[in-house]
Amino acid sequence: MLILPAIDMRGGNCVMLKQGKLEQETVYSKDPVFIAKLWQAKGAKRLHVVDLDAAFQSMSNNFELIKKICSSVDVPVQAGGGVRNFKVIENLFDAGAKYVIVGTLAVYNPEVLRQAVDKYGEKMIVAIDARDGKAAIGGWKDTTSVDVFELIGKVKQMGVKEIIHTDIKKDGMLEGPNYDSIKEICARASLRMIASGGISKIEDIKKLKDLEKSGLYGAVIGKALYTEDIKLEEAIKIAEQ
Nearest to 7 by CA among 30, 26, 35: 35
C-beta of residue 80 within 8 angstroms of C-beta of residue 60:
no
164 CB-near residues (< 8 Å, 6+ apart): 48, 101, 125, 126, 127, 128, 193, 194, 195, 196, 220
Q: Is 167 marked active-site?
A: no
Q: Is 8 marked active-site?
A: yes
Domain with 226, as residue range(s), is 2-239
* pTM for this model (two decimals): 0.92
Residue 134 main-chain phi, psi, to 5 deg: -110, 145
CATH for 133? 3.20.20.70
- In b/e form, how buried is each residue of 145-177, taking b as 16+ CB within 10 angstroms? ebebeebbebbeebebbbbbbbbbebbbebeeb
Catalytic pick among 53, 129, 171, 204 = 129
Q: What is the pLDDT of residues 126-185, one digit of tens each?
A: 998 877 767 776 555 667 778 889 999 999 999 999 999 987 765 555 567 888 889 888
Count of domains for the chain: 1
Catalytic pick among 8, 167, 171, 204 = 8
